Structure 1
Amino acid sequence: MSDLIAVTGATGGLGGRIARRLAQAGVRQRLVVRDPSRAPRLDGAEIAQAPYEDPSAFAAALDGAGVLMLISATEHPDRVALHTAAVDAAVAAGVPRIVYTSFLGAGPECTFTFGRDHWHTERHIEETGVGFTFLRDSLYLDFLENMIGDDGVIRGPAGEGRFAPVARADVAAVAATILQDPADHQGVTYDLTGPDLLTMTDIARILSEARGSSVTFENETLDEAYASRERYGAPEWAVAGWVTSYAAVGAGELDVVTDHVEKVTGHPPLTLTQVLRA
């Protein structure tokens, strides 16, 4: 099998971290991006331009690759169609394995609406018969600060639900390890979490300590959550994703801690305090 690794999403926070780790390991990789001008310049990395929705360009960009790191597309109303097109192009190009970033608890009726997209993508990958590994990530530790409003309040229908958010650095470390020896992880689904189960109240307290200013959590009903986000003027599907990410926490669907980060990488996952200090 070819040792060339194709990586999508290298202009983003997760794909970029994966690409940099692979470069540090000295492996051959091809960064498949929409905008080559934004791609990181890394030793041993080629750059190819191809969006998910252009099957011929995407297949050409994957020519000769032994494994594809498929970063899930940016939130989009037709996200599953984008993923399906990318997967089919990879199979047409003869790529024997796909590593896909999914979501913890992905299912056809899970509370988090974007998690349903991930489930449908997983099923399509399996149905093609291509080799696969799924990385089901919890919410990201390094996104939590973005949930704070201008008034220092995190609002959402999460109640006292617990979850164990994971650092993107840890997801990248897992992915880079798997990509360098994908046969050892064939057909495996990893649930990637941080080390600590936290409520939104816990998170607000930790953020307050790190920032030196008050951060609080205000629980909302579903109706209140949708109403408080109307001012953004975002499409309904996007607002539903934002709101249901909190609701999934409140429903207990993310209430799990695993050892999968340490199992793959050999080191324990980062805590929220460690991420904030970094």
Structure 2
Amino acid sequence: MIVITGATGALNGATVDHLLTLVPASEIAVAVRDISKAERFTDLGITVRHGDYADAATLPSAFEGADQLLLVSSSDPRADAVDLHRVAIDAAVAAGVGRILYTSHQGAGLDSPFNPARDHAATEQLLADSGVAWTSLRNGFYAHSLNWLLGDWRQTGVITIPVDGPMSWTSRDDEAEAAAIILASGGGFDGPTTLTASAAPTFAEITAIASEVAGSDVELRVVGDADWMALQIAQGTPEFVAGFTLGTFQAAAQGRFAGVDPLLAELLSREPHTVRDALEAPAEH
């Protein structure tokens, strides 16, 4: 049995859809916080279970019988993500799960200015200490995030950033498909497993692509951390959100998202989607 958490979200929901092309629905269960949002899985013949990291009592039955368990990382900025992950991992160990897979992120590191990267690194250490076989899916930065990082460049013709750096922008659906392939393989992917697109363009390079997509010149303005923060706050962005986003740019400038790995292309048997694909597609949030 493969149990997948967070299946009502975009990433692991897509993973379930891809997994259905590889294994029978009877071999899949989803563990979700709100069962009322999971009706489509029931209709597909998938077992739906209630499981909430914030309610440890729900997890033993949610994880029961799992040969493999895919844990989605917590995305609640108000919560202690590492503590929630600890609860889930402890429950998985107690339930006798054969392998834990976790949706991590490229550039996971305890000293990263990108806050989720610190949470991912701490969670990977919990997995390493668990005594259970584990796989950390270190996904490249999701390409749909360009919609909010680049701002209203289509209208203004300007991309304003605090600092530049390379990032391996990767399609979320490509990541979901790869996760499904890894789950269906039944093993062989141990520890940190990097899944990225084949290139890591800088924002200067992305601006050039944006100009080609728009059919007109798009300007890149690199204004520095303080001026960028002030601009974001003046535009109505909450300071917390602006600070979080600034950490993304700072980590990129440090080269933490610069690496690329051929594994994703090998798993997909094709080239992953590109930044150009993301800019040409309708905005996704």
TM-score (norm 1): 0.88
Once the 2 structures are TM-superposed, how far is the Cα of residue 96 of structure 1 from its aligned partner?
Answer: 1.6
Q: Which residue of 2 aligns with 1:18?
A: 15
Paired amino acid for 1:172: A
Q: Which residue of 1 aligns with 2:213?
A: 210
Task: Show the 5 A alignment for 1:32-47.
Answer: 32-39=31-38, 41-42=40-41, 43-47=44-48
Q: Which residue of 1 aligns with 2:245?
A: 242
Once the 2 structures are TM-superposed, how far is the Cα of residue 128 of structure 1 from its aligned partner?
Answer: 0.9
**Tell me, which stretches of 5 or more residues in structure 2 are unaligned?**
none
Task: Show the 5 A alignment for 1:187-266.
Answer: 187-211=190-214, 215-230=218-233, 232=236, 234=238, 236=240, 238-266=241-269
The answer (yes or no) to whether the contact 1:141–1:166 under 8 Å persists in 2 is: yes
Aligned partner of residue 194 in structure 2, secondary structure? strand
Distance in 2 of aligned mates of 1:131 and 1:119: 17
Task: Show the 5 A alignment for 1:163-178.
Answer: 163-178=167-182
Give the RMSD, CA atoms, in angstroms. Answer: 2.2
**Tell me, which stretches of 5 or more residues in structure 1 are unaligned?**
none
* 1:138 to 1:75, Cα distance in 2 relative to 1, 3 A: farther
Aligned partner of residue 188 in structure 2, secondary structure? helix
The answer (yes or no) to whether the contact 1:26–1:44 under 8 Å persists in 2 is: no
Aligned partner of residue 221 in structure 2, secondary structure? strand
Once the 2 structures are TM-superposed, how far is the Cα of residue 162 of structure 1 from its aligned partner?
Answer: 1.6
Q: Which residue of 1 aligns with 2:50?
A: 49
Q: Which residue of 2 aligns with 1:85?
A: 87
Tell me the percent identity: 33
Among 147, 152, 160, the residue aligned to 1:155: 160
Paired amino acid for 2:95: A
Number of positions where the alignment pairs a residue of Structure 1 with one of Structure 2: 272
Distance in 1 of aligned mates of 2:147 and 2:237: 22
The answer (yes or no) to whether the contact 2:195–2:263 under 8 Å persists in 1 is: yes
Q: Which residue of 1 aligns with 2:143?
A: 141
Task: Show the 5 A alignment for 1:51-66.
Answer: 51-66=52-67
TM-score (norm 2): 0.86
Aligned partner of residue 96 in structure 2, secondary structure? coil
Q: Which residue of 2 aligns with 1:29?
A: 28
User: For residues 183-233 of structure 1, what are the alpha-carbon distances to aligned partners after superposition, in whole Å with 9 as ceiling and x for unaligned?
Assistant: 222x23222221122111222332343355665432232222332333546
